Every structure is written in C-alpha cells, then in structure tokens.
C-alpha cells in the first residue's frame, strides 16, 4: 500500500532513523521516502489544519490590496480579452476566469496586479461600467477572504436587526441594489426629489410663486403680485405616475435618473416583486443615458427584455 511502520526499542534510535532516512531515495524508482514519528489521525489533522491556516495567512498578506475580484462577466469573455481590458492599469501578475467542469465560464474571475495603486486605479476606472459589447455593469473590487466576508455579513445583519429602517426614506421602496450579503456593488437609496418633499411637508402658509418653464404647475391662488419668487416651483406630475419627458428635463441633470427610477420601480414590481429593488438599481447604474432609460418607460417590450436579462444575471450570481 506504499506505507508501513517501524517500531524501535528506544527513542534515540527512532530519532536517529528519522534524521537519517527522511527524504532519502529508496527502491527501484528512487522515490524519496517520508520518515517521521507515527501520529494518530486526529493529531495529523490538527497539524495539517495549522499548516493550512499559516499558509493561508501568508497568502492573504502577500496578495492583500492587489488581488481583484471581477464579476458579471459575459459567458463568451476569454482570459486574453480580460487581460487586454485590465493591462492598461499596470503589470498583471496573474489572471483567471473561473470555469465549471465543462470549461464553461462561471461569470467571475480574479486579476492580480503588482501594486495596490494599480489595483485601485482599475477599480476606479472599470467598476460598475459594462465592457464593450456587454450590457452588464462590471463589478470590480478587492478580493476578500471568506472569513472577512462572513464577519462583515454578521455585522451588517446585526445592524439591520437593531435598526431595520435606518436606510429607508419615507415614500420609497427599500434600497435599490444588491443585498449586503453579496459582493456586488451597493446602490444607495434614492434621495427624494423636491416634488415628493413638497407633497409630504405641510406648509402653514402658501408657498411663494415664480413662473417657471413649461411643465411646471402654478400653486392655486398665488400670483406674482402676492408672493416672492421661489427657487424651485413644484413639478406637475401626470396622474399615471410616469413623468413626461418635459417634466424630467425640468430637473437638474443629476436628479433625472432618480425620477426615472421612481417611475420604473412600480412597473418592475409587477414583473419581479421580490427583486424589483435590485433590478431597478442595476438598470440605473448600467451606464445608459437619459434617453435610453426613459425609453424603458415608453416601451414595455424593451423593459421586459431588460428585466429578463437582469434576472438571468441575479440567478447566475446565486448559483
């Protein structure tokens, strides 16, 4: 069976045999033999576990800050293509796309740079941006060992139990984005547009009036001779809940996506009620312009197609 035991009469003889014979070639093939004190199974397992932990700590220390975790890769992306996208940020020590037993891509991989500065630059430039020809926003972040991820998950779950509504604003669904126990990018809760805040607040006096561009509504009973100009008049919103393009153009550019997201969410809830928040966040952060996003409100077939694509990404992440 390739192994055996030798029992000496005294301990010094056994020590001498181990010192002399361990690692020396033996037999026709000249294979180096292993010679050591016989151990119980539990003792061997404890020793191997200790060595494994030590090697793991050394590996974590060696690659800390330079090893990136890449997610949301298309199935047809090859390692050469991935290297081409990441090589402009620095010299790559190693690169790997994980595959199954049939050599099919699992949709994630790792890229290891030489310096933390190179890794951070790659994160800054590529995270949450789709690769050319892809609709999926790429997820790029520093790789974290499983133990660290578990600790963070436990801490986040404890915080949610202690204050479950800390990050939810009134009048809005839960945060658009991935749940804290995933490695995907975290989408923040959408801030309320001025229109929503005005509806929820209760003024003791009518607000001042200022004529605005087309698409803005005049508060009843107000006029230029009665009120001082206001900085932002309330927006006239359609009863259907879907804002017109004129209304969206009346908002600052940094809030236009948020208004579209507010209108998209109830439409997505009808198709995917449990994943509506995640899918809405994925669509808003896919890198599309306002015209492309607004077309999802007008074209139900196109919206359903994007919802199905997002669901396939989420299913693959959970598999």
Q: What ranges do the domains of the chain cover?
A: 61-143, 173-318
Q: Which helix (H) or strand (E) holds 171?
A: none
Q: How confident is the model at residue 198 (pLDDT cuts 50, 70, 90)?
A: very low
Question: Residue 94 pLDDT more than 80?
Answer: yes
Q: How many CB atoms lie within 10 A of CB 313?
A: 19
Reply yes or no on domain 173-318 having CATH 1.10.1900.10.
Answer: yes
pTM metric for this prediction:
0.39
Question: Residue 225 pLDDT more than 80?
Answer: no
Class of 61-143 per CATH?
Answer: alpha beta
pLDDT in the model for residue 115: 92
Give residue 171's Cα distance to chain centre.
26
Taking the C-alpha atoms of residue 306 and residue 282, their distance in angstroms, rounded to an integer, is 10
Q: How confident is the model at residue 165 (pLDDT cuts 50, 70, 90)?
A: low
State the maximum Cα–Cα separation within the chain, in Å, rounded to a whole number: 113
- Report, in this order, helix, strand and coil percent for the chain, each rounded to 5: 45, 10, 45
Q: How confident is the model at residue 88 (pLDDT cuts 50, 70, 90)?
A: very high
Give residue 84's Cα distance to chain centre.
22
């Amino acid at each position: 069976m390739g192994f055996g035991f030798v029992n000496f009469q005294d301990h010094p003889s056994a020590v001498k045999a181990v010192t002399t014979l361990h690692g020396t070639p033996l037999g026709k093939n000249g294979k180096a033999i292993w010679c050591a004190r016989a151990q119980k199974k539990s003792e061997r397992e404890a020793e191997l576990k200790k060595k494994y932990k030590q090697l793991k700590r050394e590996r974590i220390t060696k690659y800390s800050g330079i090893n990136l975790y890449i997610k949301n890769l298309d199935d047809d992306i090859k390692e050469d293509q991935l290297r081409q996208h990441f090589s402009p940020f620095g010299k790559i020590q190693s690169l790997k796309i994980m595959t199954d037993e049939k050599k099919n891509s699992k949709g994630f991989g790792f890229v290891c740079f030489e310096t933390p500065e190179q890794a951070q630059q790659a994160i800054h430039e590529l995270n949450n941006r789709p690769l050319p020809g892809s609709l999926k926003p790429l997820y790029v972040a520093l790789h974290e060992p499983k133990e660290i991820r578990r600790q963070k998950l436990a801490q986040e779950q404890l915080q949610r139990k202690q204050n479950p509504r800390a990050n939810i604003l009134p009048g809005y669904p839960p945060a658009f984005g991935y749940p804290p126990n995933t490695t995907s990018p975290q989408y923040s809760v959408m801030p309320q547009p001025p229109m929503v805040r005005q509806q929820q607040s209760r003024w003791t006096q009518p607000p001042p009036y200022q004529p605005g561009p087309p698409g803005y509504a005049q508060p009843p009973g107000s006029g230029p001779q009665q009120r001082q100009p206001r900085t932002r008049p309330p927006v006239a919103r359609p009863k259907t809940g879907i804002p017109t393009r004129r209304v969206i153009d009346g908002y600052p550019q940094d809030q236009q996506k948020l208004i579209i997201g507010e209108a998209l969410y109830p439409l997505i809830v009808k198709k995917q009620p449990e994943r509506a928040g995640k899918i809405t966040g994925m669509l808003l952060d896919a890198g599309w312009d306002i015209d492309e996003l607004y077309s999802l409100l007008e074209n139900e077939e196109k919206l359903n197609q994007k919802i199905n694509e997002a669901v396939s990404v989420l299913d693959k992440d959970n598999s």
